[in-house]
Structure 1
């Protein structure tokens, strides 16, 4: 006898009363559902974790007179810190870029920090955030939170810093901010490896709450470096789990390439130490297969390297008065087209293209490289640019440092701006073949880049372009998108606008960016995108973000998380569930 799909769904829900059965759909539970845990259950969880369960309250709620915790003085402090990523990281639920209609700080007249005059009338918008937070300080706290979410079919969120997308509405969140472990190993031996084998390596173990800045500075205390991101406030674990590019990755490998061992609380509540010698499939998946879906990572051990000397080359090319957009973009294309040659000779770094006025910059680093060597590498490009001195102004400087950490201290003691405005991006990993045809790439740049004149729409800031030439071609057996290995430049087109921008202007900007995303795919059809900076338009996302690894990753996901305890957008297996307009996560009928 065959059971119909609706009967099977009903049977599943009856066997697991924690699920909500909504119109014959199996869904995660929300606060107003019958299946939502009773107060007694939450109290028991709080007791289990020694009082570290937090009832969520958005930090800006203190600005709203209708909220029970309204406090004008506290609201002033929120305004003072709203653009600090460190401040958002220190809050159990706040994130750098909250949703458009989340709980933003408001002035006494009800206007938000972004200029939205309706924010006060609309209210705090706390429904955009997790309902409860486990302020985890031990692995047992994490286990308790994971087990509770699984048993009660509550959406599970994991937050370390909040720099990325670590906020799921109506969820139980596990905050790993206080996992502060830092341990340097002269000879690290992974569990399960023979201590006399060649498995030993200089390494550092970091807890899940460690930021890039903290990782860099701790390694420097031991005259070593570890790879990390370009932003001081990025959490190392989430950054590396999705692949991870940064200043040092072009020389030492991507963030995922540095993995030696990872300690995870799996979705079924087990503590697993994964490396190349045990739980190798999970270890492979966590190294580049995306963060937030394989379990809750509580610590990560990564390779360390001797502290290198560093040469830094800074190039700025700006349009002279009277230069046409066509002529300037051809020069900009020459700057990009030379990047693969520079990479082959040992330089790696970052590019920006902004305007008006139109300017392209290229900052490249050479490790254990002399000033003279850098001069030899860049001379061919500078000679070509000199020929065009009537079109562009060129500034080129080289600085040398005996220790890389001095570069970081001088140029990167900054943080991303929290509480970002609205915006949209398109991104693609571009191989050398996509950028070395100067005429073709110049036409492409002009079609997607900033204009010679300011935008006519007062709400729109204009386009900007960023390039990342810090990928690694070295072959490492991990889940990193294979497209990274052939990438010359990770290319991002961006545009931002205030939160009070009219919907018509937003729609126009989004439509234009969708066209730019199409053009990016057209010049690199066989490539992909970076999970952490994928852009807003990602058709065929499984192939685009994971390449040929996706089917293997999905098998591992089903093995370690058969009940889909963890879900995040564009993560492996996420298409088996969908989010309804009312915020419910429901299982697809075919899954």
Structure 2
């Protein structure tokens, strides 16, 4: 009898200190009770329609949180702790979306993610997933969520003899690396090319899951067109390797199980992050650089030639640039930046500006080959140029890119975008842009619009080859506009955003969908605009891989199926 009481007490202590039986051995306490991760979820397997919040009785107790945190290799950060402020305000780049998660986990191992998913599922806690913190509409954080921070996952390997890649080369990276690190390794150390972002501080995770437009996309396609494999942790807490035609599920007891299933690979390539699973690692196809190197040319022109705005030249300049971009060969890519005029702020000690238009063209080849293309731009309206830039040759991609990587913007901003087809990029579009940016000037805001050149290899893929909005396959440019304001203007933030909706709607009307990574948080028809005809299939895949709604975020696939407190 005494022995039985002792055993019962040992089991109770085991359940208190290791509630999920993550520690086990042969003939140890409760070793016969070790659950499979799927069983843990299915015990409370109802569909989540509303998430538990820290001020509710459903929230785990202090003892339960402490017990969970003792099972992981990573770091738990709770509200009120000294590091919590840095883990929230210090992590989110667009400060409009700083939130207060109920528990933050800095992940070290995939097992940490597995345990975190199961813990959140047990208590119906919303999961948010963050890496570099650049999401413009806050899909990577949420009040009261269990936030999984992947920024400490840093594995990186370049394989120049990879038989599984049709180019013979690949790069495997954890999502905690950023594009500056990837470019330095792939293009700097090995002199190969990878389709990545223009911002060095962005993680490959959100960039790729949202489609991934790149200055190399005209030559090689979007980032999603060059993924060979994903590693994920799914809503059941399983590690899964995702390939174009199948998946391989890891199990600590049963080993590896292969299942023929192309759906998840398709969905992850454009369906967005924080939705189907937690992506931890991506394998990309690599390419050889051109033997002649790279040649670039910049152009800088005024938006208007006087502060009063009596002589606006932006209409003409943009109209020329659209025509020029339409005729570019596949080897020439680039972007246009349009800065609105600003009347200045004496209170904030910010000077007035006349606005400007900046164009960058990067040619995939040597100077002699590039000059016939670049000279058309160089010779345009020398009387208007604000700087006489000359063509510049670079031997390697890293030499060209290392000092020109965008570092991101920390502050309060509102972003919106569209994908503009060839036929709509004309003088009428230029006039609309100029009219709208002059309205922004009268609002007293600072705004920058970026137009990235599309086409080339991107158009060789079918609309349904990945889950990105089909407009990408026919678009000539994406246009993304961001308005910025100062911290002391937060009290009028909502009214400013309301005022910008006129411009936003004009941009949407001219386009055929939006770029998911730079979409507005205000979209009435967000399913159609972000995914078009691909949405119904995405929703079915969501229901298959996350039937309980463990993962959700704003305007993400299936997000209207759950109530967010």
TM-score range, shorter chain: 0.7 to 0.9
Q: Does 1:401 align with 2:412?
A: no
1:41: how far off? 2.2
Partner SS for 2:370: helix
Q: Distance in 2 between matches of 1:39 and 1:168?
A: 20
Partner SS for 2:459: coil
Partner SS for 1:473: helix
1:287-346 per-residue CA deviation (whole Å, 9 max, x = no partner) reads 11111212111111001112342111111122445984454422222223321212x442
Q: Distance in 1 between matches of 2:474 and 2:81?
A: 43
Contact conserved, 1:19 with 1:29, CA < 8 A, in 2?
A: no
- Choose the corresponding residue for 1:352, options 326, 332, 337: 337
Q: Does 1:150 align with 2:142?
A: no
Partner SS for 1:467: strand
Gaps of 5+ in 1: 1-14, 63-87, 103-127, 191-197, 585-591
Aligned residue for 1:370?
366
Partner SS for 1:162: coil
1:177: how far off? 1.4
CA RMSD in angstroms comes to 2.8
Contact conserved, 1:52 with 1:135, CA < 8 A, in 2?
A: yes
Partner SS for 2:316: helix
**Structure 1's 59 and 329: CA in aligned 2 closer, same or farther, altered over 3 A?**
farther
Partner SS for 1:494: strand
Aligned residue for 1:12?
none
Partner SS for 1:374: helix
Aligned residue for 2:552?
567
1:263: how far off? 0.6
- Choose the corresponding residue for 1:203, options 163, 170, 191: 170
1:50-108 per-residue CA deviation (whole Å, 9 max, x = no partner) reads 4733324587877xxxxxxxxxxxxxxxxxxxxxxxxx7x87973112337x5xxxxxx
Q: Does 1:416 align with 2:408?
A: yes
Aligned residue for 1:259?
227
**Structure 1's 335 and 37: CA in aligned 2 closer, same or farther, altered over 3 A?**
same
1:447: how far off? 1.5
TM-score computed with the length of structure 1 as normaliser = 0.76
**Structure 1's 511 and 572: CA in aligned 2 closer, same or farther, altered over 3 A?**
same
Contact conserved, 2:162 with 2:169, CA < 8 A, in 1?
A: yes
Contact conserved, 2:49 with 2:561, CA < 8 A, in 1?
A: no
Aligned residue for 1:9?
none
Q: Does 1:334 align with 2:320?
A: yes
Partner SS for 1:463: strand
Q: Distance in 2 between matches of 1:478 and 1:301?
A: 16
Q: Distance in 2 between matches of 1:362 and 1:55?
A: 46
**Structure 1's 163 and 464: CA in aligned 2 closer, same or farther, altered over 3 A?**
closer
Partner SS for 1:305: coil
Between 1:160-169 and 1:464-473, the stretch displaced more is 464-473
Q: Does 1:43 align with 2:14?
A: no
Gaps of 5+ in 2: 1-41, 248-261, 342-352
Aligned residue for 1:275?
243
Aligned residue for 1:286?
268
Q: Does 1:428 align with 2:406?
A: no
Question: How many matched pairs?
Answer: 486
Aligned residue for 2:31?
none
1:19: how far off? 8.3
1:249: how far off? 2.4
Aligned residue for 1:53?
76
Q: Distance in 2 between matches of 1:462 and 1:277?
A: 47
Partner SS for 1:313: strand
Contact conserved, 1:18 with 1:153, CA < 8 A, in 2?
A: no
1:194-230 per-residue CA deviation (whole Å, 9 max, x = no partner) reads xxxx857310100121111111111131221212111
**Structure 1's 42 and 346: CA in aligned 2 closer, same or farther, altered over 3 A?**
same
Contact conserved, 1:56 with 1:93, CA < 8 A, in 2?
A: no
Aligned residue for 1:222?
190
1:425: how far off? 2.9
TM-score computed with the length of structure 2 as normaliser = 0.79
**Structure 1's 250 and 547: CA in aligned 2 closer, same or farther, altered over 3 A?**
same
Aligned residue for 1:187?
161
Aligned residue for 2:5?
none
1:501-516 to 2 correspondences below 5 Å? 501=489, 503=491, 505-516=492-503
